[in-house]
Amino acid sequence: MSIGQAVSGSGGFNSGTEVLTIADLHNLIINAHINQADISRLHQDQQVEVAVEAVPGLVVMGRIERIAPQATIRNNIKGFAVRIFLKDADKLREALEGSGVHWVQLHGYQTPGVVRAVKEISPDIRVLKVLHVRGDDCVEAPLIGSYEKAGVDVFLFDAVAKDGRVGSTGETLDPAVVASLAEQISRPFLLAGGLSDDNRDESAQDSPNLDLGDPFADPF
């Protein structure tokens, strides 16, 4: 090519192949499909509670960001697509900034993205994340690695009641299940869920790294 030479544009353009999509976990969203019979009750910027059927007892707060102007049919139900921003991380930030709090226990079903957002509020904040065990199943088990990467400092195993209740349920953890889950964890962990003088020795046997010292002493 030389100065003054005419250059013609390409006749086509190849956008390439999409390899992966990186999600922004600081802004978690839910894309819901709302039945047309209920859509009139919703409006943009409305504060809503979102319940997840697959996780009994899980309720998160959100804000409606967008309602589709045109209905679509999904699973033979005519409805409207609704985008909801989850607000857990924002609420925690408002509560923690300038509070002087150094330890935060996340007892709900918060995502690794919420953990990361909490850790970014201050370098002094430590996060204790509850792992919910229901029988021989732990809802968050597939996310343990992601929780650790997000910055969880300590895990706490707690038993979920048969009806989905969490926290102070009186249910007892199966030590064998906890021992199996503990193999996936590189962080310290605590046990809740019905520990007593009658079963503490069994728990200690199945979890050799478990500290069953004074429960009222400062563990940190």
Helix (H, G, I), strand (E, B) or coil at 114: helix
Identity of the residue numbered 142: P
The length of the chain, given as a count of residues:
220
pTM listed for this prediction = 0.57
Identity of the residue numbered 170: G
- CB–CB of 140/168 below 8 Å? no
- CB–CB of 42/82 below 8 Å? yes
> For each of the chain's 220 residues, which pLDDT tens digit applies?
567 777 766 666 566 677 776 665 556 677 889 999 999 999 998 988 887 665 556 567 788 888 999 999 988 999 999 988 876 666 677 777 777 888 988 887 888 888 888 888 888 899 999 998 888 888 889 899 999 999 999 999 988 877 777 766 677 888 888 889 999 999 999 887 555 666 555 555 555 444 444 443 344 3
- CB–CB of 124/151 below 8 Å? no
Task: Please report, for residues 161, 194, 197, the alpha-carbon distance to residue 171 in angstroms, rounded to integers and kept in the order given.
Answer: 6, 5, 15
Residue 85 makes CB contacts below 8 A (sequence gap 6+) with 27, 28, 29, 62, 63, 65
**CA-CA distance, 14 to 8, in Å (whole number)?**
17
Token look-up 């005419």 returns 6
**CA-CA distance, 152 to 175, in Å (whole number)?**
22
**CA-CA distance, 190 to 167, in Å (whole number)?**
14
Q: How many CB atoms lie within 10 A of CB 109?
A: 19
- Joined tokens for residue 163: 């009806």
**CA-CA distance, 78 to 110, in Å (whole number)?**
31
